[in-house]
């Protein structure tokens, strides 16, 4: 089995693969205060709940945009899984031709998404990842990572609104019945859900107009399905795109 970690600023998504099959995946809050042992014990409990043997894990792959967590995760991998983890970064083969002015500035998650999307879907692509930030990445039919756009994420924007407006409550990020809200909660939901759907349509439209190409739009991340329901510009929702890319990186670096 292969254990993969997608470490974001808000959540850590963990997946277990047997060959190309994703057996299960979990999501936990990113916590800089957790120790390697705490992460290890937590994972042991999840393995037991799923009836999986921790000793079957032969490799660990990590993509992270949170450098402060890496020491603990690397130590946890070696202590609990007897594996030195493969960490996505400089020196790791990804198969992605990065055309960014400074390739080192491209987040590991964006590279992993580009690899998986290019392998799974033909043609020119726009990949939208709804995470702490909402990222829009352009990948050509030849597998070149061209760049993209980065916007504040949905939850980050919502938390900022609530924290700066004393009378506004925290709300569930779900679709309201109408865009004209008749109470504060529905009004906020309308602004958040329909507002971000409009943002997606606007940026995707501008990318397509600028490049003058037919492009397939793929959405991933925790709120991808919610926003995809509100716009026709998203063609595919692939919630496990990043995990799939991490599995592929393992294959590239171990089997050429």
Find all residues with CB under 8 Å of 51, minimum gap 6, and list them.
none
Separation CA 115–CA 96 (nearest Å): 6
Structure tokens at 131: 């995470």
Separation CA 2–CA 19 (nearest Å): 8
Determine which one of 6, 109, 129, 238 is catalytic.
109
The single residue listed with the structure tokens 């995946």 is: 25
Contact between 77 and 207 under an 8 Å Cβ cutoff? The reply is no
Cα torsion for 96, 152, 229, 232, to the nearest 10°? -60
109 is catalytic: yes
H-type alpha helices, the chain? 36-49, 70-81, 108-120, 154-164, 184-189, 195-211, 224-228, 241-255
The residues annotated as belonging to the active site are: 109
């Amino acid at each position: 089995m292969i254990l993969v970690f997608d470490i974001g600023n808000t959540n850590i998504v963990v997946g277990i693969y047997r060959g190309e099959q994703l057996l299960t995946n979990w999501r936990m809050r990113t916590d800089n205060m957790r120790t390697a042992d705490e992460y290890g014990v937590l994972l042991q409990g999840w393995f037991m709940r799923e009836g999986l043997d921790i000793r079957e894990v032969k490799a660990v792959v990590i993509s992270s945009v949170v450098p402060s967590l890496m020491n603990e995760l690397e130590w946890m991998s070696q202590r609990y899984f007897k594996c030195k983890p493969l960490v996505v970064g400089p020196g790791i083969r990804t198969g992605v031709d990065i055309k960014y002015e400074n390739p080192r500035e491209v987040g590991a998650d964006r590279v992993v998404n580009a690899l998986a999307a290019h392998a799974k879907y033909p043609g020119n692509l726009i990949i939208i990842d709804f995470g702490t930030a909402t990222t829009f990445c352009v990948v050509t039919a030849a597998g070149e990572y061209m760049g993209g756009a980065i916007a504040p994420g949905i939850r980050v924007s919502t938390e900022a609104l609530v924290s700066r407006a004393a009378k506004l409550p925290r709300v569930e990020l779900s679709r309201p019945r109408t865009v004209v809200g008749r109470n504060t909660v529905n009004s906020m939901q309308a602004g958040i859900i329909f507002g971000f759907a409009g943002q997606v349509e606007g940026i995707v439209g501008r990318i397509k107009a600028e490049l003058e190409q037919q492009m397939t739009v793929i959405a991933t991340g925790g709120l991808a399905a919610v926003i995809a329901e509100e716009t026709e510009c998203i063609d595919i929702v692939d919630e496990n795109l990043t995990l799939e890319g991490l599995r592929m990186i393992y294959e590239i670096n171990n089997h050429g």
